[in-house]
A and B are shown apart, each in its own frame.
Chain A
Amino acid sequence: MTTLGQQPAKGEGRKDPWGALLEKVGRHQDKAAYHALFEHFAPQIKYYAISNGIASHAEELVQEVFVAIWRRSSLYDWRKAAASTWIFTIARNQRIDMLRKMQRRSGEMAIETEDLWQIPDDNDDDPVTSLHRLTSERRIRESLSQLPQEQVTVIAKVYMEHKSHQTVADELNLPLGTVKSRVRLALNKLKVILQDQNV
């Protein structure tokens, strides 16, 4: 869990504090900011690796994610994504890439991991869209705390253990339809399904 004492000072308007640090890394190669990001996110990424079944490569995944953060930080734009969302997608892509390399499939493939999983940045600077993106993490955190535990459990298995809905159903001994309807209910509350009405 986040230690509040380690969080950087707020007060940069709508900019999230981790985003401000990430921008310092991107613009000035600021190693103190980089270290603060490491202290906060590295333990999360390590847990992510372990829960995904690659415990023996957990430290390695942390390294790969942070090298990628350093190299890509100049591309980070706080108006387009919260820092933690941006870092989550890097962790996910590096996890996929690492598994792919372990299975020695990357050499045989015409397309790279990023071709499949990295979505090109939107160039729309529509302020409504930007605001929507920036507030989405806060909205999700709030809505998530209202969801029944059985829905959160399913979502956690999908995200943290990269299990398909079918595998989650098998594990929890539930019909696939039940798992899917729990996810749909949750996504409804999280406004993923009806999002266009709220933008």
Chain B
Amino acid sequence: MTRHHPDSLSLMEYSAGNLSEPHALCIRLHLDQCGHCRSRVDTLNSLGAVMMEQQPDVSVSDTSFEQLLARIEEAPDARAAQESPRLSPLQKLLGDDMNNLPWKRQLPDVSVVDITDKFPGQSERVILQKLAAGGKAPAHTHRGTETTIVLQGAFSDAKGVFNQWDFVVLTDKDVHKPVAIGHEDCITLSILSAPLKLTGPFGRLLNPFIR
């Protein structure tokens, strides 16, 4: 059961189609598991439909409908019969087993994979972080905004407990010291708008990861 949801403004940007691909992915992964937010997005999509309806109409070209008929008659069998079962976006992106990814250990309890290059043309950094079961990450803050979704396991910090598919946005005002709870390693997907900043004594050591 997810308890931490994206805020309404982020869902609105999702519904309007204005988010970068990594951010859209985080929202989509959350929506897959959260009926409450799906229902909010349904309403926001209706808002989009009403906004579209309330704008001025622009006439289409006279031949537009004929062209359309020609196109659909060209490929009459291309109609979708049933939604075929698809791989989840996460499987497409990361394969079946997240444990097989090229994890790089940064600290005894913390491993990281940088997946930024899976999203060409983005300015944000996208990383997976793994905190070993029971492990602690050093206290750190963020220079920009960090958007995170929990993909596996759970962690807790001063703000509460974050379970699988929970959504959390941290800003430069949050000092964050997560601990993986439960029996599983905790894996999160995070989008960093700017590099992290360690607040503790490990700062200099960790530059490569949290630069």
- Which residues of B are in contact with A by a Cβ distance under 8 Å? 8-9, 11-13, 15-18, 21, 24-25, 28, 31-32, 35-36, 38-61, 64-65, 67-69, 71-72, 78-83, 86, 89, 92-93, 118-121
A158-184 near B? 1/0 per residue, CB < 8 Å: 111011110000000000000010011
Contact between B13 and A51, CB atoms less than 8 A apart: no
Looking at chain B's contact residues, is the secondary structure mostly helix, strand, loop, or mixed?
Answer: helix
Q: Which residues of A sit under 8 angstroms from B92, Cβ to Cβ?
A: 110-111, 115
Of A88, A95, A103, A190, most buried by chain B (CB within 10 Å of CB) is A88
User: With a CB–CB cut-off of 8 A, which chain A residues contact B81?
Assistant: 74
Q: In the assembled complex, how far is the CB of residue A27 from the closest CB belonging to chain B, in whole angstroms?
A: 11
22 pairs across A/B with beta carbons < 8 Å? A38-B68, A47-B57, A47-B58, A48-B55, A50-B58, A67-B71, A72-B79, A75-B82, A82-B49, A84-B49, A108-B120, A111-B25, A111-B93, A115-B86, A116-B21, A120-B83, A122-B38, A159-B16, A160-B55, A165-B9, A192-B43, A192-B44
The interface residues of chain B lying within 8 Å CB-to-CB of A72 are: 79-80
Is A199 part of the binding interface, using a Cβ–Cβ cutoff of 8 Å?
yes
Assess whether A51 is in contact with B24, with CB atoms less than 8 Å apart.
no
Which of B39, B46, B59, B82 has the most chain A CB within a 10 Å cutoff? B46
Measured between beta carbons, the chain B residues less than 8 angstroms from A50 are 58
B9 & A70 in contact (Cβ 8 Å cutoff)? no
Is residue A81 within 8 Å, beta carbon to beta carbon, of the partner chain?
yes
A187 at the interface (CB under 8 A from B): yes
* Total cross-chain contacts (CB, 8 A): 204
5 new A-B contacts, CB < 8 A, other than A89-B48, A137-B46, A164-B13, are A71-B79, A84-B46, A119-B38, A156-B55, A160-B55
- Does A24 count as interface, using CB distance less than 8 angstroms? no
Contacts of B79 in A (CB 8 A): 29, 70-74
Structural contact, B56 and A124, CB atoms closer than 8 A: no
Closest 8 pairs (CB-CB, A-B):
A43-B57, A88-B49, A115-B89, A84-B49, A116-B24, A92-B17, A46-B58, A159-B51
Partner of A51, one of B17, B40, B55, B78: B55
A6 to chain B, nearest CB (A): 11
Q: Give which listed residue, B11, B58, B118, B119, contacts A43 with CB less than 8 A.
A: B58
B64/A184 in contact, CB under 8 A: no
Residues of the B chain whose Cβ atoms lie less than 8 Å from the Cβ of A75: 80, 82-83
Contact in complex: B11, A58 (CB < 8 Å): no
Question: Are A67's CB and B68's CB within 8 A?
Answer: yes
Q: What sequence of 0s and 1s flags, for each residue 45-78 of chain A, a beta carbon within 8 Å of any chain B beta carbon? A: 1111011000000110011001100111111000
Say whether B72 contacts A70, CB under 8 Å.
yes
A73, A156, A190: the one contacting B43 at CB < 8 Å is A190
> Which of A72, A93, A136 has its CB near the most chain B CB atoms (within 10 A)?
A136
Count chain A CB atoms within 10 A of each CB in B31, B58, B59 and give the residue with the most.
B58
**Chain A residues positioned under 8 Å from B120 (CB to CB):** 105, 108-109
Interface residue A15 (Cβ < 8 Å from any Cβ of B): no
Question: Taking CB as reference atom, which chain A residue is nearest B76?
Answer: A29
Q: Given the known A-B contacts A88-B48, A92-B17, are A44 and B121 also in contact in the complex, defined by CB atoms under 8 Å?
A: no
Our pick among A67, A87, A93, A192 for the contact of B8 (Cβ within 8 Å) is: A192
Nearest Cβ in chain B — how far from A29, in angstroms?
8
Instruction: Scan residues 19-51 of chain A and give those whose CB is less than 8 A from a CB of chain B.
Output: 29, 31, 35, 38, 42-48, 50-51
